[in-house]
Amino acid sequence: MKKNSKHASKQLKQEIINMHLSGRSVKSLAEEYGYNKQTIYNWIYAFDNSVNLDINLDDARIKIQTLQARVQELEYENEILKKATAILYKDCSIKADTSESDY
Protein backbone atom coordinates (compact mmCIF):
# COMPACT_ATOMS: atom_id res chain seq x y z
CA MET A 1 0.00 0.00 0.00
CA LYS A 2 1.57 3.24 -1.07
CA LYS A 3 1.01 6.52 0.72
CA ASN A 4 -0.26 9.42 -1.35
CA SER A 5 0.23 13.11 -0.94
CA LYS A 6 -2.23 15.14 1.08
CA HIS A 7 -4.52 15.95 -1.85
CA ALA A 8 -5.49 13.79 -4.78
CA SER A 9 -5.85 15.43 -8.18
CA LYS A 10 -9.30 15.74 -9.69
CA GLN A 11 -8.24 13.32 -12.38
CA LEU A 12 -7.21 10.67 -9.85
CA LYS A 13 -10.41 11.12 -7.87
CA GLN A 14 -12.44 10.71 -11.06
CA GLU A 15 -10.49 7.57 -12.02
CA ILE A 16 -11.12 6.05 -8.58
CA ILE A 17 -14.81 6.96 -8.74
CA ASN A 18 -15.08 5.44 -12.23
CA MET A 19 -13.43 2.24 -11.02
CA HIS A 20 -15.93 2.10 -8.15
CA LEU A 21 -18.83 2.69 -10.55
CA SER A 22 -17.44 -0.14 -12.68
CA GLY A 23 -17.73 -2.53 -9.77
CA ARG A 24 -14.57 -2.19 -7.69
CA SER A 25 -15.12 -2.08 -3.95
CA VAL A 26 -14.18 0.99 -1.98
CA LYS A 27 -12.11 -1.22 0.31
CA SER A 28 -9.95 -2.52 -2.57
CA LEU A 29 -9.52 0.99 -3.99
CA ALA A 30 -8.55 2.35 -0.57
CA GLU A 31 -5.97 -0.40 -0.14
CA GLU A 32 -4.56 0.04 -3.64
CA TYR A 33 -4.30 3.83 -3.60
CA GLY A 34 -3.60 4.35 0.10
CA TYR A 35 -6.60 6.50 0.92
CA ASN A 36 -9.01 6.06 3.78
CA LYS A 37 -12.28 4.38 2.76
CA GLN A 38 -14.27 7.33 4.11
CA THR A 39 -12.27 9.71 1.92
CA ILE A 40 -13.23 7.72 -1.17
CA TYR A 41 -16.85 7.58 -0.01
CA ASN A 42 -16.76 11.37 0.34
CA TRP A 43 -15.49 11.71 -3.24
CA ILE A 44 -18.25 9.40 -4.49
CA TYR A 45 -20.88 11.35 -2.54
CA ALA A 46 -19.59 14.67 -3.91
CA PHE A 47 -19.59 13.23 -7.43
CA ASP A 48 -23.18 11.95 -7.06
CA ASN A 49 -24.32 15.34 -5.81
CA SER A 50 -22.63 17.19 -8.67
CA VAL A 51 -24.22 14.84 -11.20
CA ASN A 52 -27.62 15.35 -9.58
CA LEU A 53 -27.05 19.10 -9.57
CA ASP A 54 -26.26 19.03 -13.30
CA ILE A 55 -29.40 16.98 -13.95
CA ASN A 56 -31.48 19.37 -11.85
CA LEU A 57 -30.03 22.35 -13.72
CA ASP A 58 -30.89 20.73 -17.05
CA ASP A 59 -34.42 20.04 -15.81
CA ALA A 60 -34.71 23.64 -14.64
CA ARG A 61 -33.54 24.97 -18.02
CA ILE A 62 -36.10 22.82 -19.81
CA LYS A 63 -38.83 23.96 -17.42
CA ILE A 64 -37.86 27.61 -17.92
CA GLN A 65 -37.96 27.23 -21.70
CA THR A 66 -41.36 25.54 -21.48
CA LEU A 67 -42.71 28.28 -19.23
CA GLN A 68 -41.31 31.02 -21.47
CA ALA A 69 -43.05 29.46 -24.46
CA ARG A 70 -46.29 29.24 -22.48
CA VAL A 71 -46.02 32.90 -21.43
CA GLN A 72 -45.53 33.90 -25.06
CA GLU A 73 -48.58 31.84 -26.05
CA LEU A 74 -50.72 33.40 -23.30
CA GLU A 75 -49.59 36.91 -24.21
CA TYR A 76 -50.64 36.26 -27.81
CA GLU A 77 -54.03 34.93 -26.68
CA ASN A 78 -54.44 37.94 -24.40
CA GLU A 79 -53.86 40.32 -27.32
CA ILE A 80 -56.49 38.48 -29.36
CA LEU A 81 -58.97 38.71 -26.49
CA LYS A 82 -58.29 42.43 -26.07
CA LYS A 83 -58.97 43.01 -29.76
CA ALA A 84 -62.11 40.87 -29.66
CA THR A 85 -63.36 42.74 -26.59
CA ALA A 86 -62.77 46.08 -28.30
CA ILE A 87 -64.68 44.91 -31.39
CA LEU A 88 -67.58 43.58 -29.32
CA TYR A 89 -67.69 46.74 -27.20
CA LYS A 90 -67.70 48.87 -30.33
CA ASP A 91 -70.44 46.68 -31.83
CA CYS A 92 -72.57 46.93 -28.68
CA SER A 93 -72.14 50.71 -28.59
CA ILE A 94 -73.34 51.00 -32.18
CA LYS A 95 -76.39 48.81 -31.46
CA ALA A 96 -77.17 50.82 -28.34
CA ASP A 97 -76.98 54.07 -30.31
CA THR A 98 -79.29 52.78 -33.05
CA SER A 99 -81.83 51.35 -30.62
CA GLU A 100 -82.03 54.65 -28.72
CA SER A 101 -82.73 56.56 -31.90
CA ASP A 102 -85.61 54.20 -32.77
CA TYR A 103 -87.68 55.58 -29.90
Is the pLDDT score of 67 beyond 60?
Answer: yes
Residue 94 lies in a domain: yes
Confidence label for 1 from pLDDT (cuts 50, 70 and 90):
very low
Confidence of residue 102 (pLDDT cuts 50, 70, 90): low
Q: How many domains does the chain have?
A: 1
Give a yes or no: residue 44 inside a domain.
Answer: yes
Label residue 27 by pLDDT band (50, 70, 90): very high
Average pLDDT, the chain: 83
For residue 2, being part of any structural domain is answered with no
Q: Which residues of 16-31 are buried (b: 16+ CB within 10 A; e: fewer)?
A: bbebbeeeeebeebbe
> If we measure between CA atoms, which residue out of 89, 94, 4, 78 comes closest to residue 40?
4
Residue 5 within a domain? no
Provide the whole-model pTM: 0.45
Q: How far apart are CA 100 and CA 103, in angstroms?
A: 6
Say if 4 falls within a structural domain. no
Does 3 reside within a domain? no
Q: Which domain holds residue 66?
A: 10-101
Contact assessment for residue 34 and residue 2, using Cβ atoms and an 8 Å cutoff: yes
